[in-house]
Chain A
């Protein structure tokens, strides 16, 4: 057995470039990897003897972290007393914590993490839940630190962070367990009662003597009692609540049917005369619970996924206190504190630079990956990353007022605008119940005049026959099946009703950087004016750029290591240095001493010696592999590119991918306005994005998709999260939505058709309650098995 077959990186499946040499021996063969990150992860897995992971996994892994050492260093902050107190539960000697683990894709991941952690001394228990992507860990604090556990998980390519389920989810979980218990109990009891009932129905014991019959009835009564009192309790409570609120719901007709049947059967048992339908009551409750459980589970899953986004990232800051620097938690900072931010660190709060100059990566706010140059007096924002030099920042606002939080608030506001589709279903069922109750009452009254003895059971049969059990199952069963299927295909669908809305989508809006492109720069056009070969010139550029922290530097690969003497970095301009006794200057147009001719205006990077411009080139962001295919697949819809980037870059990407419409230079507010405007024009908008700046827009769109490498805030506000950054599958989402929609329609047609067909039979007394229950069960089973076909 060789595990899953795929081309590309053996670990994560991304394309492997020929020039790279990242290899590891896995399962006895040398495997190509796409990056040092994947290589390190694969090696860690193999070295700890857990190669079986590769044999049995059913999904590819996430790309490894290339800046692993930095990530690991940051984990130490989790040993802070305050965090421990907030998230860790004391369990005697041991401590216990819940972690969300990103990157879990299949059962093999769970095994890998458990085995890897079990090797640490001091671990008491690890259990990884693959479906909710969480781990619960208990350990002995004297022997092991929390950061060591997180490090171990990080080493094998997963990202674990502590989190606390919110109140909402806790109550869901409680309900979930209650449902399971009720379902199990009613199922087991139904079997017992059914067994006795079959004996009674068919008279297997020959002519059954009255004494045995009465004994069977009593046993059935005892067995049915817990089902009616405990398992059915939810229906009565909901019915009472709705009556108190002044309206009727489906549970009212259910309660009447259940309690009516049970009490008259019980009366018949006492008096030894009359009809007994205990088995019908049990079956009825069991099947209703199945449909409720399915519905609940689909909502539960969605809630879990969004709760995973609420993980806690403690920001620490180095506060300058007189002469000393001390580490504090960012939320303890107050206005006018001075904070030291080293290169590569996240700026903890909003403030103003009072010393130093640096490049700041504001991509999480603006969505653009090109760092912004900042000097003394410039504003910096919490959550952005300091790229190059040490700066001192004076805190202007406490953490709770930081710009990031403002964006989250904006997004919550947009979320509240979303119309609840569920209301419609509620209203229709209300009318339905009123009609059913009226029909049952009328048939009861009419039959009283014809045959009073049968009137009661006919009314009950009407209630059972019209029970919208199959109808209630029609939608949730189809949605749950579709969600399970989509999950396998790499989508996390957070809200089930999204699948219905996708069918209406006629406009698809894309973010550019990070969504359609990779957010990594590569060399574009290159012009060489020197006497040397282009390879040599590019190598010179690469060697100079090696000293730069600017992301553009990554676009150049060193082919031959040269010694650079006296390298100097001019922040925001470029680099100078001496290679083989030639003075080179590399950087932007403003950095050049020689005049730049008109014909070179397109370029963004220049190389010069003291007397002439040697070369110029442009750098570009690479377009993702799947982008072009995705756009051609979606060509039947209106496509729009919406970006915060400048005209040149946006139009270039738009031209390459064939966008007819594009907008550039948009701030998050402008993007939001644009989406609102599209919605006002009666368009149903799907937004595909990734950055924090996209979060409000994602929340405002009718349907939103966050791509795999998206920021957490974007994931939180999106309806669908794409696992992995591959865009190819998005058309499948449309197709699946269409199939789900037609499945729901089929189910509805069947359920309503059946109810309409059976109703006259029940009214005319051709149907006893047990027949009604069997008919209802069959109808439900047909609906469910029809839905299950979606998972294939």
Chain B
């Protein structure tokens, strides 16, 4: 049972780390907008190619044929 004399302080240390991270998050406004970030994953970060790019691609592939 003596192991708990080591484990509990370690658990406390981990909690302190968690609290430090949480305080940092509050301080840097991570909790300001809770509606928005859930959607971020839906959006492509890579912008779609514009029409002119596509046309260029098409003509390239046509040329290959």
- Are B48 and A132 interface neighbours, CB within 8 A? no
A128 CB contacts on chain B under 8 angstroms: 33, 36
What mask results when residues 171 to 206 of chain A are scored 1 for a CB within 8 Å of chain B, else 0? 000000100110011001100100010000000010
- The reply to whether the CB of B55 lies closer than 8 angstroms to some CB of chain A is no
Q: A51-B48, A56-B39 are in contact. Are A131 and B34 (CB under 8 A)?
A: yes
Question: How far apart sit A342 and B18, CA to CA, in the bound complex (Å)?
Answer: 62
Question: How far apart sit A652 and B33, CA to CA, in the bound complex (Å)?
Answer: 47
B23 — nearest CB in chain A belongs to which residue?
A: A181
Q: A177-B26, A192-B15, A212-B1 are in contact. Are A50 and B42 (CB under 8 A)?
A: no
Q: Which of A104-112, A390-398, A469-477, A576-584 contacts B (4 or more CB under 8 A)?
A: A104-112
Q: Which parts of B24-63 form the interface with A (CB within 8 Å)? A: 26-27, 31-36, 38-40, 42-44, 47-50
Q: A177-B27, A189-B15 are in contact. Are A130 and B1 (CB under 8 A)?
A: no
B36 to chain A, nearest CB (A): 4
Which among A177, A196, A222 has the highest number of chain B CB atoms within 10 Å? A177
A302 to chain B, nearest CB (A): 16
- Are A188 and B12 interface neighbours, CB within 8 A? no
- The reply to whether the CB of A52 lies closer than 8 angstroms to some CB of chain B is yes
Contact of B19 among A184, A205, A219 (CB under 8 A): A184
Q: A132-B32, A181-B23 are in contact. Are A111 and B39 (CB under 8 A)?
A: yes
- The reply to whether the CB of A90 lies closer than 8 angstroms to some CB of chain B is no
Question: How far apart sit A181 and B19, CA to CA, in the bound complex (Å)?
Answer: 9
- Are A47 and B50 interface neighbours, CB within 8 A? yes
**Chain A, interface SS category:** helix
- Are A130 and B26 interface neighbours, CB within 8 A? no
Contact of B48 among A49, A181, A205 (CB under 8 A): A49
Contact of A185 among B5, B19, B50 (CB under 8 A): B19
- Are A181 and B26 interface neighbours, CB within 8 A? yes
- The reply to whether the CB of A115 lies closer than 8 angstroms to some CB of chain B is yes
B31 to chain A, nearest CB (A): 6
- Are A111 and B26 interface neighbours, CB within 8 A? no
Q: A192-B12, A219-B8 are in contact. Are A56 and B42 (CB under 8 A)?
A: yes
B25 to chain A, nearest CB (A): 9
- Are B40 and A205 interface neighbours, CB within 8 A? no
Q: A56-B42, A56-B43, A215-B5 are in contact. Are A184 and B22 (CB under 8 A)?
A: yes
Question: How far apart sit A222 and B15, CA to CA, in the bound complex (Å)?
Answer: 13
- Are B22 and A131 interface neighbours, CB within 8 A? no
B34 to chain A, nearest CB (A): 7
- Are B15 and A131 interface neighbours, CB within 8 A? no
B31 — nearest CB in chain A belongs to which residue?
A: A180
Question: How far apart sit A51 and B48, CA to CA, in the bound complex (Å)?
Answer: 8
Question: How far apart sit A111 and B40, CA to CA, in the bound complex (Å)?
Answer: 7
B43 CB contacts on chain A under 8 angstroms: 52, 56, 108, 111, 115
What mask results when residues 126 to 163 of chain A are scored 1 for a CB within 8 Å of chain B, else 0? 00111110000000000000000000000000000000
B27 CB contacts on chain A under 8 angstroms: 177
How many chain B residues have a CB neighbour from A under 8 Å?
29
Question: How far apart sit A37 and B1, CA to CA, in the bound complex (Å)?
Answer: 74
- The reply to whether the CB of A464 lies closer than 8 angstroms to some CB of chain B is no
What mask results when residues 48 to 72 of chain A are scored 1 for a CB within 8 Å of chain B, else 0? 1111100010000000000000000
B42 CB contacts on chain A under 8 angstroms: 52, 56
Contact of B33 among A129, A177, A219 (CB under 8 A): A129
A741 to chain B, nearest CB (A): 27
Question: How far apart sit A50 and B38, CA to CA, in the bound complex (Å)?
Answer: 18
- The reply to whether the CB of B10 lies closer than 8 angstroms to some CB of chain A is no
A48 — nearest CB in chain B belongs to which residue?
A: B47
B1 CB contacts on chain A under 8 angstroms: 205, 212
Q: A49-B47, A129-B33, A219-B8 are in contact. Are A188 and B39 (CB under 8 A)?
A: no
Question: How far apart sit A658 and B19, CA to CA, in the bound complex (Å)?
Answer: 62
A701 to chain B, nearest CB (A): 31
B31 CB contacts on chain A under 8 angstroms: 180
- Are A50 and B47 interface neighbours, CB within 8 A? yes
B49 CB contacts on chain A under 8 angstroms: 49
A215 CB contacts on chain B under 8 angstroms: 4-5
A200 to chain B, nearest CB (A): 13
Contact of A107 among B22, B26, B36 (CB under 8 A): B36
Question: How far apart sit A181 and B5, CA to CA, in the bound complex (Å)?
Answer: 29
- The reply to whether the CB of A223 lies closer than 8 angstroms to some CB of chain B is yes
Question: How far apart sit A567 and B11, CA to CA, in the bound complex (Å)?
Answer: 87
Question: How far apart sit A222 and B9, CA to CA, in the bound complex (Å)?
Answer: 11
Question: How far apart sit A513 and B47, CA to CA, in the bound complex (Å)?
Answer: 44
A109 — nearest CB in chain B belongs to which residue?
A: B36
- Are A107 and B47 interface neighbours, CB within 8 A? no
- Are B35 and A107 interface neighbours, CB within 8 A? yes
Q: A115-B47, A184-B26, A212-B4 are in contact. Are A132 and B11 (CB under 8 A)?
A: no
B26 CB contacts on chain A under 8 angstroms: 177, 180-181, 184
Question: How far apart sit A481 and B33, CA to CA, in the bound complex (Å)?
Answer: 17
Question: How far apart sit A381 and B15, CA to CA, in the bound complex (Å)?
Answer: 63
Question: How far apart sit A669 and B11, CA to CA, in the bound complex (Å)?
Answer: 68
Interface residues of B (CB under 8 A from A): 1, 4-5, 8, 11-12, 15, 18-19, 22-23, 26-27, 31-36, 38-40, 42-44, 47-50
| A-B pairs with beta carbons under 8 Å apart, 5 shown | A128-B36, A130-B33, A185-B19, A215-B4, A223-B12
Given A181-B22, A184-B23, 15 additional A-B pairs, CB 8 A: A48-B47, A49-B47, A49-B50, A56-B43, A107-B36, A107-B39, A107-B40, A111-B39, A111-B43, A115-B47, A130-B33, A131-B34, A181-B23, A184-B26, A222-B12
Q: Give 3 closest A-B pairs by Cβ, nearest first.
A: A107-B39, A49-B47, A49-B48
